[in-house]
Amino acid sequence: CGHNSAHHTFQQTLATIRTAAGLRETLRNTLGPDEAELMTRTLLEKAIQDTVMSFQRLAEQIYESRAGVSARRNAFQNLDAGSNLWDTVAGSSFEKIVGTAAMDRLRVFYQQRHLLAHQQGIVDADYITRSGDATYAVGQRLVIKESAVLEFAGLIEQLGSALLKSSPFHCGDS
């Protein structure tokens, strides 16, 4: 089948994210408790951002191979915009691919990524409206848990794998 850097990089990034999500105990045994918590928080927040970035790169390459043109810059950083593009080129929205419940969870994670990247993780009214996440109040800081990072990686892997299966990059079930 040949080497595919988009798929390889996507899988490698998800493996790294999963490893990072499980480092809390190792860090506690190596660093002081405060340093370990700070490093863990930093790794988990970076994992949320890296998950979106890895999917964005994969989706852009698959989209370009199907559509023959590039998507607008950062289109796949916005879940709904990316879904609309995919629906146009492949005839199936992300929601049709992964289901409504998974899409709802993905929206929360994508909005969290947005807050981490642009608001230092501080919740604003737009986050609550766009994500539907009522567990936070305006002004609170996001708390990213290992389980959330692993869930997000799993959902993105499911979506990315479905896109890959419909692309010229797909080389079988391996």
pTM above 0.85, yes or no: yes
For residue range 5-51, what is the model confidence (pLDDT) as tens digits? 778 889 999 999 999 988 888 888 898 888 989 988 999 999 999 99
* DSSP state for residue 23 in the 8-state scheme: -
pLDDT of 135-174, one tens digit each?
999 999 999 999 999 999 999 999 999 998 876 555 554 4
Burial (Cβ within 10 Å: 0-12, 13-18, ≥19) of residue 27: middle
